[in-house]
Amino acid sequence: MAGPHPAVAATRLAVRRALRAPIGPGDTVLVACSGGADSLALAAALAFEAPKLGLTAEAVVVDHGLQDGSDAVAARAAEQCHALGLAARVIPVHVPAGADGPEAAAREVRYTALADAAGEAAAAGVLLGHTRDDQAETVLLGLARGSGPRAISGMPQVAHSRGVRWMRPLLDVARAETAAACAALGIEPWQDPHNSDPRYLRVRTRQALVDLERQIGPGVVAGLARSAALVRRDLDTLDEQADAIAARLGETPWPVDELSTLSPALRTRVWRSLLTTGGCPSAALGKVHLDGVDALVGQWRGQGPIHVPGALQVRRADGLIHLEPRAC
């Protein structure tokens, strides 16, 4: 007997690999579904794999309300998930005007809604439909912005934030494969008009990748995604080493002699670990703060305290680096 279409098999295998420990029988997992090909192919694969693994699977459709008829699109996506065998619900949200644009504002509201749904369901994880093409777009944007190695490492397969385990099973699956999987399963995905609107940076980036594949040759998308995985592996190793060093150094103050033996790339990560453990809000701790603190070791000229987030300051005295409340 013939097996499933190759694209269907690829999405199912990706989901099966994602649904491993610490997720196990009796757990609930959610899948975010927009009604597009990527998320519907993911939902179909989850609906097929979850029962075999003893999991409860549900779909969540977030209606951003940014387009006329978005409620009908969301309702149809929920109906399609129902037809696949998934319990599904629609969560309408309001997207406020944001300084970083509608894409960023919609993303923030969407993740908040998904995290709330995961909390209500006591879900062990939320599956997201990002593909290899999305990963390549993320890397290209990071390169264009000069955002540094962490940005060009792309999206992780698994991440933890907002109290949720976020999983991206399809990062090694091409966007064309999710479309082919939907076609093979008789699923008609929604074509989001925003995906062809050049006002959006992500759309322009997508077109740039098409042009690169045309001019350089096939494999650009796969190459960028592969590079992201390699960079992420190296960065994760550096972060693990930095955390171990920070744990050994312990609480403030810290000896300049020991810090000065570290390579700049490693020492920057050690600073981040030490400062956040010491009370600096991680989200507010930027490169300018880390560079200033590191100069107390590598470029010491008797400079005064460096102010860091959390109403704290870092100063050097008697061969030691002190993290302390900021002087009034």
- Sheet containing strand 312-317, edge to edge, reads 254-255, 320-325, 312-317, 306-308
Q: Which of 47-61, 132-146, 314-328 has the highest mean pLDDT?
A: 47-61
The pLDDT of residue 192: 86
Q: How far is CA 185 from the centre of its chain?
A: 28
The pLDDT of residue 286: 86
The pLDDT of residue 327: 79
pTM: 0.85
> pLDDT at residue 282 above 70?
yes
CB neighbourhood size of 240 (10 A)? 11
Q: What is the identity of the amino acid at 30?
A: L
* Nearest partner of 262 among 293, 241, 283, 280, judged by Cα: 241
DSSP assignment, residue 327? Answer: P
pLDDT in tens, 63-86: 999 889 999 999 999 999 999 999
Return the residue matching tokens 């969540």.
Answer: 60
Residues flagged as binding site:
34-39
Q: Which of 30-34, 150-154, 308-312, 315-319 has the lowest mean pLDDT?
A: 150-154
Q: What is the dihedral of CA 23, 43, 175, 63, to 10 degrees?
A: -110
Banded model confidence at residue 200, pLDDT cuts 50, 70, 90? confident
Q: At what angle do helices 175-185 and 6-18 cross, to 10 degrees?
A: 110
> pLDDT at residue 1 above 70?
no
The encoded tokens of residue 92 equal 């309408």
Banded model confidence at residue 284, pLDDT cuts 50, 70, 90? confident
Distance between CA 39 and CA 60 in Å, rounded? 11
* Nearest partner of 227 among 154, 137, 130, 133, judged by Cα: 154
The domain made up of 250-325 is a member of CATH 3.30.465.60: yes
Distance between CA 287 and CA 260 in Å, rounded? 19
pLDDT in tens, 85-109: 999 999 999 999 865 677 888 899 9
123 contacts 142 by C-beta, under 8 angstroms: no
* 111-132: b (≥16 Cβ within 10 Å) or e: bebbbebbeebebbbbbbbbbb
The CATH homologous superfamily for domain 6-223 is HUPs (3.40.50.620)
Residues flagged as binding site for ATP:
34-39
The pLDDT of residue 213: 93
The pLDDT of residue 99: 59
Distance between CA 178 and CA 159 in Å, rounded? 22
Residue ranges of domains in the chain: 6-223, 250-325
Which distant-in-sequence residues (6+ apart) come within 8 Å of 64 by Cβ? Answer: 70, 93, 95, 106, 109, 110
